[in-house]
Chain A
Amino acid sequence: MPTKTTDSTITRGRAPAPPKRQGKARLKPAGLGWILPAFVLSVGVIYFCIGYSGLLSTQENRGGTSGGTFIGADNYTNALTNPLFWGAIKHTVVFFVLVSIVQISMGIVFAAMLHSKVRLAVVYKVIIFLPVVIAPAIMSPVHRRVFATDGPLNWILEHIGLEALSQSWLAQTSTSLLVVIGVQIWSSIGFAFILFYASMGQIEPEIIEAARIDGASNLRVLWSLVIPSTRGTIFALLVLNVISSLKLFDYPYLLTRGGPVYTSDFLGTYIHREAVALTNLGYAAALAMLLLVLAIGASILTNLRARER
């Protein structure tokens, strides 16, 4: 970290220091004013919105200026008895499990491979990480093209002798969720890769060398040495995946609109549909509050687990 500027700038400080009393010199200046802008911006906006959501969630509210009518917990009981809500929860769980497994294992494998002697490593790195950077909204027409009935995926399948697997991926209820999961995996492996690449770089080469002298094979080194040392990264990714699964919106909305017949619907698309398309604001707010409870519950659970370890 560059520290060169400090000394010169400090001594240039606003000339003669007023004599200070010993005790006061130890007292730090008050800082409330310094945290206030950030506090008002984040806590203010967010807590206000949560409070407002809470209020809306007890109303039958169709938007506009007419206001809502109080209906108590009806929105919540409606949501909790609605198969669409449980469908979205189920998709979220499936999404989380599949994305986490593939993202983490592929991230580890790519990181280990690129820590080995591979030519043009930078090119591979860029190709793997690029999907993380490009906006889902910008890439989604391309993904729709890839999975189209006459698209490249089916073309590839037909040319490697798997015609039987060729199908209309986006339009059928059995595969729409898989497409959303696949695209998310495509765009998130690079992120896991970067984290694993960084944490593997911190393993002492001597330890690996010692294991090799003891006769450990490549896979053995990976399994017993490398993977255990990246446990922290795996855990961090799992936590981040819980949150990103719960707040998922862009890909399901852009690829399938949650369909067909809600087979790739998530809480994000569900809330958006209720709030924006149907202007059923009270119900959307109740869903949002349930989502909030799940997100907070998940982060408390993971924090507790983190503390145990």
Chain B
Amino acid sequence: MFETRSRLSQFILQVLITIMVIPFVVPLYTMIAGSFQGEGLGNYQAVLQVPKLAYFFRNSAFIALVTIAIVYVVTMMAAFGFSKLRIRRREVFFWMMMAALTLPEVVLLAPLFQMASGVGLYNTFWAVIIPIAALQVPFTVLLTRTYVDGIPDDLFEAARIDGAGTVRMFWNVLIPLSKPMAVAVVVLVLINAWNSYLLPLVFLIDPDYQVVTLLPQYFQGQYNDDQTKVMAGALLTALPEIIAYISLQKYFERGMAAGALK
């Protein structure tokens, strides 16, 4: 956008942007530098020896995978139904779903909390998975339906004339053709499920069931606010996300952007 004709102006632009990203680097630097203070690598050793550390990651991975699977399947089916099949009062159903689009999760808190004691929702992954999936679905359906609307009806028509049933059309036409959107859906749900904090905070109380977003306060408890270990813990917890993002940069950016570019 900015044209830099001379060497000097190009240099100024480079310096300017470097200064502007300093605020972004400060927390990252604080985390890394802080984690090596005091006992140095010993901080990491201490953190890695935290009992049940692996549980936190395993539980987060489990919740993310199940949520992704559920959201993916129901979203694809619904997008297919809304876009390519015959449904009476289709738009009524669609808008009932879209009305839930902007729902904040805290709204679910009081009723879920009240039910929790009665039905025994505490320390159940479903208490986290179902609400997260429920809150994601309106949005992923909106995205995917818009996308599927763009696939010509003729392709489905042709499949049917060749004798494909509805299930076959879904499996052999819709699923392969909607792959680009599916990537966005998966990334979106992955980030939201992995980063979710409020629902695990309230419902997953037993350390055996806790997830990575609850690790910082667990470390704080374990190390009595020994900042060096807390920083090491934060870095270790953020690492999978940092690696995933850097190695799948394009998909992450596209997945997140898909959210706003409806």
Which residues from chain A contact B207 at a C-beta distance below 8 Å?
none
> Given A17-B162, A126-B249, A195-B261, A41 and B234 touching (CB < 8 A)?
no
Instruction: State how many angstroms separate the Cβ of A215 from the closest Cβ of chain B.
Output: 12
* Distance between Cα atoms of A145 and B176 in the complex (Å): 47
- The residue from A6, A33, A49, A236 contacting B112, defined by CB atoms under 8 A apart: A49
Within 8 A of A (CB), among B100-124: 100-115, 117-118
> Given A9-B172, A129-B245, A198-B261, A299 and B109 touching (CB < 8 A)?
no
Contact A141 B135 (CB under 8 A): no
Contact B241 A134 (CB under 8 A): yes
* Interface check A93, CB cutoff 8 A: no
* Distance between Cα atoms of A53 and B260 in the complex (Å): 29
* Interface check B204, CB cutoff 8 A: no
Contact B103 A39 (CB under 8 A): no
* Distance between Cα atoms of A272 and B109 in the complex (Å): 7
> Given A34-B78, A137-B214, A142-B31, A10 and B173 touching (CB < 8 A)?
yes
* Interface check A77, CB cutoff 8 A: no
Instruction: State how many angstroms separate the Cβ of B59 from the closest Cβ of chain A.
Output: 14
Contact A288 B106 (CB under 8 A): yes
Q: Which secondary structure characterizes the binding site on chain A? A: helix
Contact A116 B164 (CB under 8 A): no
- The residue from B84, B88, B100, B160 contacting A42, defined by CB atoms under 8 A apart: B100
Q: How many residues of A contact B (CB 8 A)?
A: 122
Contact B107 A291 (CB under 8 A): yes
- The residue from B24, B159, B220 contacting A10, defined by CB atoms under 8 A apart: B159
Contact B85 A29 (CB under 8 A): yes
Contact B111 A52 (CB under 8 A): yes
Which residues from chain A contact B222 at a C-beta distance below 8 Å?
none
Contact B27 A56 (CB under 8 A): no
* Distance between Cα atoms of A240 and B194 in the complex (Å): 21
Which residues from chain B contact A137 at a C-beta distance below 8 Å?
195, 197, 213-214, 216
* Distance between Cα atoms of A108 and B101 in the complex (Å): 27
Closest to B136 in A: A42
* Distance between Cα atoms of A18 and B26 in the complex (Å): 68
* Interface check A164, CB cutoff 8 A: no
* Interface check B143, CB cutoff 8 A: no
* Distance between Cα atoms of A46 and B87 in the complex (Å): 22
* Distance between Cα atoms of A68 and B96 in the complex (Å): 30
Which residues from chain A contact B220 at a C-beta distance below 8 Å?
141
Contact A296 B102 (CB under 8 A): yes
* Interface check A304, CB cutoff 8 A: no
Contact A41 B133 (CB under 8 A): yes
Contact A37 B86 (CB under 8 A): no
Contact B198 A142 (CB under 8 A): no
* Interface check A261, CB cutoff 8 A: no
Which residues from chain B contact A130 at a C-beta distance below 8 Å?
24, 28, 242, 245
Contact A116 B114 (CB under 8 A): no
Within 8 A of A (CB), among B181-228: 191, 194-195, 197-198, 202, 212-216, 219-220, 227
Contact A37 B111 (CB under 8 A): no
Contact A30 B85 (CB under 8 A): yes
Contact A14 B28 (CB under 8 A): no
Question: Which among A79-87, A146-154, A168-176 touches the partner chain?
Answer: A146-154
Instruction: State how many angstroms separate the Cβ of B97 from the closest Cβ of chain A.
Output: 6
Closest to B150 in A: A1
Contact B103 A129 (CB under 8 A): no
Chain B CB within 10 A, most for which of A35, A271, A299: A35
Contact A56 B110 (CB under 8 A): yes
Which residues from chain A contact B216 at a C-beta distance below 8 Å?
137-138, 140-141, 254
Instruction: State how many angstroms separate the Cβ of A43 from the closest Cβ of chain B.
Output: 5
* Distance between Cα atoms of A254 and B106 in the complex (Å): 15
- The residue from B14, B97, B107, B246 contacting A49, defined by CB atoms under 8 A apart: B107
Instruction: State how many angstroms separate the Cβ of B30 from the closest Cβ of chain A.
Output: 5
Which residues from chain A contact B170 at a C-beta distance below 8 Å?
34
- The residue from A28, A112, A237, A276 contacting B84, defined by CB atoms under 8 A apart: A28
Which residues from chain A contact B130 at a C-beta distance below 8 Å?
41, 45
Within 8 A of B (CB), among A99-117: 106, 109-117
> Given A141-B220, A194-B253, A13 and B164 touching (CB < 8 A)?
yes
* Interface check B8, CB cutoff 8 A: no
Instruction: State how many angstroms separate the Cβ of B84 from the closest Cβ of chain A.
Output: 7
* Distance between Cα atoms of A299 and B29 in the complex (Å): 39
Within 8 A of B (CB), among A216-251: 218, 221-222, 226, 233, 236-237, 240, 243, 246-247, 249-250
Known: A39-B93, A135-B212, A141-B220. 6 other contacts (CB 8 A): A42-B135, A142-B231, A247-B106, A249-B198, A267-B106, A271-B110
List the interface of chain A (C-beta within 8 A of B).
1-3, 5-6, 9-11, 13-18, 25, 27-35, 37-39, 41-50, 52-53, 56, 61, 63-65, 106, 109-119, 124, 126-143, 145-146, 151-153, 156, 186, 189, 191, 194-195, 198, 200, 208, 212, 218, 221-222, 226, 233, 236-237, 240, 243, 246-247, 249-250, 254, 267-268, 271-272, 275-276, 279, 281, 284-285, 288-289, 291-292, 295-296, 298-299
> Could you jot down 6 A-B contacts, CB within 8 Å?
A46-B100, A138-B213, A138-B238, A186-B24, A222-B2, A237-B260
The 5 A-B residue pairs with the shortest CB-CB distance, nearest first, are A31-B85, A247-B104, A34-B81, A17-B163, A38-B78
